[in-house]
Structure 1
Amino acid sequence: MPAPKNPFKAALRDDRFQLGLWVALASPYAAEVISGSGYDWLLIDGEHGPNDIPLLSAQIQALAGSGSHPIVRLPIGEAWLIKQILDAGAQTLLIPMVESVEQAQALVRAVRYPPHGIRGVGAALGRASRFSRIGDYLETANDEICLLVQIESRAGLDVLDAVAALDGVDGVFIGPSDLAADMGHLGKPGSPEVLAAITDAFARIKTAGKARGIMTLDLEQARLYRDLGATFMAIGTDVTLLVSATQQLREAFLAGDATAGPVSGTKPVSGY
């Protein structure tokens, strides 16, 4: 039995659009709840969410069997972190702040077994090999790992063509907020100059034949990114949705809004 198939990687290879959501609450229970909402993928955020390897691992497990593929964003692209989270069962990684070809090449090597990389041969101790029950995991694992690199600075844009051309880089994710800040538009990822940079980046990534990713909390902006050719895109975060829903419910009640109630599409259950 070979390594489990990576449906997200297969979708990117077939140029099928994949819709996602950010999961940053650092809660396996919350991740499991969200996994029933129909998103193609959920990004478990280890960069800005208060996560560590055990928590990331628990959230990967919470998504098992759901229709939502877990993508893990590590806080930094260190080989030892990559080694641990791959053995814990992650198949798709998003690595932030990639700014050089050498850095991207090191990431490719970190997710592959020797002789093509430096991933340690120890998956028998982890979930990745079903605790050694997948007999040919070592021979098949490389093909199912999906590496996404995050470009979010002018330095990253400068090397984008070379990074996107690398064998082993499956997709390039543009980080609009950090890119905007680096371009002098802090807090304004929708500014014309930033949008022009994203538009150009998408075109260059497409020329390299790689998937194009991005995220936004603005649905109008999301539709624009989709029209520009985004292959995988997140349209919200669990944190902001929780803040918005709880605040709106309270405000609607205090305003006497009789239409306020459960989220559309859900059925109230007695005995809360």
Structure 2
Amino acid sequence: MAMKRARATFDSILAEGRRPTGVFVMSSDASTTAVYGSSGYDWVLIDREHGVMDNSHMISHLLAAQATGLVPIVRVLENNPTLIQQSLDAGAQGILVPKIGSADEARRAVAATRYQAGGRGMCPVVPATNFSGSNWGGYSTEMNDNVILMPLIETKRGVDNIEEIVSVEGVDYIFFGLADLSQDLGIDMEADLDQLVELWEHVAATAHKHGVRAGAPLGYGFDALADFGSLDSDMSTLRAAAERSIAAYRSSEPALVEYQPAQTLLGR
């Protein structure tokens, strides 16, 4: 199966009047990605920043995404061209870069995703190319046209500089990170959610003014302005399901009957 191209796929879904909906995966087990792909999700965020996975785990997740028709996006640990290139060579179709706070940082991240002078290094024998350099011109052009570089807006600095960030050529998508932003602002993510919604509305409106699509976690009050979004993460979903299962069982658990061993012939 050919790998889905991020931008073309997102554009197609949006043209249908749907919001591309994804999920964060943090487990080292690629079965989680396969489950989401077979359940109808559109994209998956393979989390290398907070997830406990190495390169081999990431590659397994990428293969699972390819097999189940998901657009795979990798969140790298930091705005590092080597980490970005490594993820794309392995087969990522998009990159989420944490804590982008300025236009210069955004430009550096964009350059690392593009086959161009001073940008992404060229190597035809990697998983993303099916280990073949045939039709390199066509492949590199298609990748440059379809890769999504997504700054993560999760600091006060990022919010304050959102206008300059979304003005950078090559930044066509952004994602709003409410957890780190709440920490950076010194507020509570749940109790002060109204403040985060207000900041999100500013970020999303600024992005839309520049023709940039804005994404956010869904279900927190961001949905109305979100062009795309994520639903939870694999481990939090598993945790919630596990808690529901044990609570439901214990609420109706039958009383324990003490075990009474049968008498043996010798014991009579």
TM-score range, shorter chain: 0.7 to 0.9
**Alignment match of 2:72 (pick from 70, 79, 85):** 70
Aligned-residue offset at 1:10: 2.8
| Aligned residue number for residue 266 of structure 1 | none
Instruction: Measure the CA separation in 2 of the matches of 1:52 and 1:78.
Output: 16
Q: Judging changes above 3 Å, is the alpha-carbon distance between structure 1 residues 170 and 13 closer, same or farther for their aligned structure 2 residues?
A: farther
Counterpart of 1:125 in 2: which secondary structure? coil
Query: 2:223 matched to 1:226?
Result: yes
In the alignment of these two chains, the number of paired residues is 249
Q: For the pair shown, which has the larger CA radius of gyration, 1 or 2?
A: 2
Instruction: Measure the CA separation in 2 of the matches of 1:168 and 1:140.
Output: 14
- Percent identity among equivalent residues? 29
| Contact kept in structure 2, 1:177 and 1:188, CA below 8 Å | no
- Gaps of at least 5 residues in structure 1 are 259-272
Q: Which runs of 4+ in 1 moved over 6 A?
A: none
Q: Deviations over 1:103-151 (max 9, x none)?
A: 1010111111123x411111x2211111116523234321121111101
Which one-letter code corresponds to 2:172 in the other structure? D
Instruction: Measure the CA separation in 2 of the matches of 1:84 and 1:128.
Output: 10
| Aligned residue number for residue 59 of structure 1 | 61
**Alignment match of 1:240 (pick from 236, 245, 257):** 236
| Contact kept in structure 1, 2:26 and 2:233, CA below 8 Å | yes
Instruction: Measure the CA separation in 2 of the matches of 1:174 and 1:53.
Output: 26
| Contact kept in structure 1, 2:10 and 2:20, CA below 8 Å | no
TM-score (norm 2): 0.85
Instruction: Measure the CA separation in 2 of the matches of 1:13 and 1:168.
Output: 19
Give the superposed CA RMSD.
Answer: 2.2
TM-score (norm 1): 0.84
Q: Deviations over 1:49-85 (max 9, x none)?
A: 0122221111001111323211111111200111111
Q: Judging changes above 3 Å, is the alpha-carbon distance between structure 1 residues 253 and 72 closer, same or farther for their aligned structure 2 residues?
A: same
Counterpart of 2:67 in 1: which secondary structure? coil
**Alignment match of 1:109 (pick from 111, 133, 136):** 111
| Aligned residue number for residue 267 of structure 1 | none
| Contact kept in structure 2, 1:101 and 1:163, CA below 8 Å | yes
Counterpart of 1:177 in 2: which secondary structure? helix
Which one-letter code corresponds to 1:150 in the other structure? L
**Alignment match of 2:177 (pick from 175, 178, 181):** 175
Q: Deviations over 1:150-196 (max 9, x none)?
A: 01111111211111111111201110111111122144375222221
Q: Judging changes above 3 Å, is the alpha-carbon distance between structure 1 residues 62 and 3 closer, same or farther for their aligned structure 2 residues?
A: closer
Q: What aligned pairs does 1:1-272 form with structure 2 within 5 A after superposition?
A: 5-6=5-6, 7-11=8-12, 14=15, 16-115=18-117, 117-122=118-123, 124-132=124-132, 134-136=134-136, 137-188=139-190, 190-216=192-218, 219=219, 221=220, 224-227=221-224, 229-256=225-252
Counterpart of 1:214 in 2: which secondary structure? strand
Which one-letter code corresponds to 2:5 in the other structure? K
Counterpart of 2:34 in 1: which secondary structure? helix
Which one-letter code corresponds to 1:248 in the other structure? R
- Gaps of at least 5 residues in structure 2 are 255-268
| Contact kept in structure 2, 1:183 and 1:194, CA below 8 Å | no
Q: Deviations over 1:198-237 (max 9, x none)?
A: 1111111110111101115xx3x2xx3121x101111211
Q: Judging changes above 3 Å, is the alpha-carbon distance between structure 1 residues 169 and 99 closer, same or farther for their aligned structure 2 residues?
A: same
Counterpart of 1:97 in 2: which secondary structure? coil
